[in-house]
Chain A
Amino acid sequence: MTTVDPDFAESQAKEARKARLFSRINRADAWFQVLGLSWITPVLKAAAGDNPRAQMQEIWRLLGVPVLAIIAFLFAWGTLAPTVQTSLGAIPGPAQVWEQVEVLHADHLRERDKAEAFYERQEVRNAKLVADGKEDRVKWRTYTGKPTYYDQIWTSIQTVFFGFLIATAVAVPMGIAAGLSQTANAALNPLIQIFKPVSPLAWLPIVTMVVSAVYTTNDGWFTKSFLTSAITVTLCSLWPTLINTALGVSSIDKDLVNVSKVLKMSTWTKITKLVLPSALPLIFTGLRLSLGVGWMVLIAAEMLAQNPGLGKFVWDEFQNGSSSSLAKIMVAVFTIGIIGFLLDRMMYAIQSLFTFTNNR
């Protein structure tokens, strides 16, 4: 291969194209990492003709092993489950659990049909009232049926985010204060140490009582049960954010702090221009931990307080004690796990957006 080679220009262009392609793949890889799809990279690379053997090894490590592990888990579960006899029958295997997924979906559809029938009846009734000249008695009401499984999931997600938002709104300012001032830190530290290990189940009765006493309207924006669950989530999930924010703020580069002094920045400017940008990665680490804790806590709170959501679904099924209850509870377990994983991934994605900027 010399410059005399007639194909040189062409192969040069080819090489350049390939290099461009790979740099694109590498850029995309960062995103795949975030989305938990890192196995796509070696597949793309192999497709682009980059040392198939090494890539196959990567694919095996990133895709083959996890998939095999899941299959092995399902197999072990399927074989071991029937050997454990409970008073509700044997522990359900993967097949029975999948069956319940379908049952829950069918339930959801049935409930939707019932809702539709309700609205049709309402139309007929109201049309009749209008025809009889009784417009004043016409009423439009929403359907009052049981919440379906999807409704429960949606309720839980809404609750966890509401609680998480309150927690963030409380924890970030407090964390900044604790990070900036030794005094505030000394004041907050014992409280953090004492309240951090408290279980949601201990907060719940207190929160329930306080919410019932303070939030007396029965037709406000929120239902009492929603507030109770959300505030319990707040109380348990604000600590990781608080601690990490304080840590992030207190470990700002001293040079930057000196610059702020030289420029005689006001406190507000200092926080917005200096403190927050440099503390963001740690704050997001805190938020990610908080959301994880919040999700875990929420299920417990819903279970105990009988508030709508996945926790209540689990408790109701446990109380039902029917032959399909265990399988339904397992469906809920997987749902909770998968949603928890997705929430974590989402936070990780947001966090990595900020860390990229940080590393540039």
Chain B
Amino acid sequence: MKRALFAILASTALTAPAFAEMLDVEKDELTFGFIKLTDMAPLAIAYENGYFEDEGLFVTLEPQANWKVLLDRVIDGQLDGAHMLAGQPLAATIGYGTEAHIVTPFSMDLNGNGITVSNEIWEQMRPNIPSMDDGRPQHPISASALKPVVEAYADEGKPFNMGMVFPVSTHNYEIRYWLAAGGIEPGYYSPENVSGQIAADVLLSVTPPPQMPATMEAGTIYGYAVGEPWNQQAVFKGIGVPVITDYQMWKNNPEKVFGLTKEFTEENPQTTLALTKALIRAAIWLDENDNANRPEAVEILSRSEYVGADYDVIANSMTGFFEFEKGDKREIPDFNVFFRYNATYPFYSDAVWYLTQMRRWGQISEAKPDSWYDEVAKSVYKPEIYLEAARMLVDEGLADEADFPWDSDGYKAATPAEDIIDGIPYDGRQPNAYLESLPIGLKGDQRVVGNEVQG
């Protein structure tokens, strides 16, 4: 056994980078938190493939119960960093919810979420969805197909409940975007009332991702927005049908980030660089050779210490497929993107989009000038750290110069109308103009007072 290990070691030692390149890290024993979702993959891969170790980091990965616990533990220092919802560092920094200055040098992935409804709701929705020639529903499915169902529930005096994973989660903003694009009011937040259900047709509430299927099965919620594998899990269990993926809603939208407290990055700059390097390498590995490594990644993720769901459930989305109804398997090659399209670069424009959605639904209660959006984005997203780490990797011959946007000002080119479900283009440089162009939601100086929008 030992001899075999040495043989393996000897062979990997030749391909591993020279140890002399190792950064002089300030803190080498780190604990990172994650939630059991497919998109924690960069962390698992950086650990399992030894990228953390190559940087001289000894990392413990700990699954967390829910997003709130994860954030609190990062803030009080029990965790050094974590796989986070992009909204979390932004919300924490502007003081919505728990206040703390959290920064991110690394964006973890693009896409990866879906919206699922229970079988019963699907049956009621299905007549409102046009079919293709082969009888399968035509995609993307608009929430207007759900509108009559929601209205029928309202007529019977029954609340229509749906789940999302956290008030400042991508999933909350995505399900709201989708509902609003179909003419359904998802409800507002106000400083006095943080339920997010003011003037709502659909009542959204928080459920931790892994409990989504069980909660829907119990009838507490009729549908949910969540990351993988919890949409595919509903299909496998035969309890629900995913109606839309976020890729169909907004092509290549930004998803999770890796968050650290500002103090940590200031006290441990070398450590921050080192972990960013390891994560970039993991992202490269996940996407290289046209996703050739994905099956291996799925095997790692299916272990109980990471995501722990069955191999087949995780494999679907990771290998470019998504199953809607049982048997209705469609190709979505970019369902999970970890490195292509500059997925890991922390673009300011991504941060601005999240901030616009916070403003749109009243989590940011007052109007803010465009410059404010830019300032907040720049205080949280740290592309300079990312590029420094990338430069080192390129110098070490572990990454390709052409894969990084060296000269970007941090704003992506505007997303064209055809890439978004309701055809409203998004330009991160003009957040207020973008807010004006959205159908439902707060605009200009509007505020939520009591149970209505004023202004």
Contacts and interface: CB of A to CB of B under 8 A. Distances in A.
Contacts of B28: 139, 141
Interface residues of B, number: 45
A320 B29 contact: no
A113 B2 CA distance: 9
B5 A116 contact: yes
Interface string B22-35: 10100011000000
A173 interface: no
Contact of B9 (A121, A142, A317): A121
A218 B9 CA distance: 34
Nearest to B36: A319
Given A120-B5, A141-B29, A319-B211, A88 B237 contact: yes
Contacts of B60: 144
Interface in A86-135: 87-88, 107, 113, 116-118, 120-121, 124-125, 128-129, 132
Contact of A322 (B56, B69, B217, B302): B302
A321 B6 contact: no
A304 to B, nearest CB: 8
Given A120-B5, A141-B28, A316-B63, A321 B210 contact: yes
Contacts of B19: 125, 128-129, 132
B182 interface: no
A87 B304 contact: no
Nearest to A143: B58
A107 B304 CA distance: 10
Given A87-B239, A218-B77, A117 B64 contact: no
A124 B13 CA distance: 9
B192 interface: no
A212 interface: yes
Given A141-B58, A319-B210, A146 B309 contact: no
Given A87-B239, A320-B36, A320-B307, A120 B2 contact: yes
Nearest to A322: B310
Interface in A313-351: 315-323, 325, 328
A329 B238 CA distance: 22
Tell me which of A125, A317, A322 has the highest count of chain B C-beta atoms within 10 A of its own C-beta. Answer: A322
A301 to B, nearest CB: 13
A224 interface: yes
A306 interface: yes
Contacts of A87: 213-214, 217, 237-239
Nearest to B35: A319
Interface in A130-164: 132, 137, 139, 141-142, 144, 146
A325 B239 CA distance: 18
Given A87-B213, A218-B78, A306-B64, A320 B59 contact: no
Contacts of B214: 87, 321
A120 B6 contact: yes
Residue with the greatest number of chain A CB neighbours at <10 A, chosen from B6, B19, B24, B239: B19
B308 A139 contact: no
B185 to A, nearest CB: 32
A124 B60 CA distance: 21
Contacts of A124: 9, 13
Nearest to B60: A144
A305 to B, nearest CB: 8
Contacts of B452: none
A322 to B, nearest CB: 5
Nearest to A113: B1
A118 B36 CA distance: 25
Nearest to B77: A218
A132 B77 CA distance: 35
A316 B303 CA distance: 11
A144 B59 contact: yes
B310 A317 contact: no
Interface in B289-312: 302, 304-305, 307-310
Contact of B304 (A113, A120, A316): A316
26 contacts: A87-B217, A87-B239, A120-B2, A121-B9, A121-B50, A125-B19, A137-B24, A139-B28, A141-B29, A146-B305, A218-B77, A224-B78, A306-B64, A306-B69, A315-B65, A316-B308, A317-B304, A317-B308, A319-B211, A320-B36, A320-B210, A320-B308, A320-B309, A321-B308, A322-B304, A322-B309
Given A128-B19, A144-B58, A319-B308, 11 more contacts: A120-B2, A124-B13, A129-B19, A141-B28, A144-B59, A224-B78, A315-B65, A319-B210, A320-B308, A321-B213, A322-B304
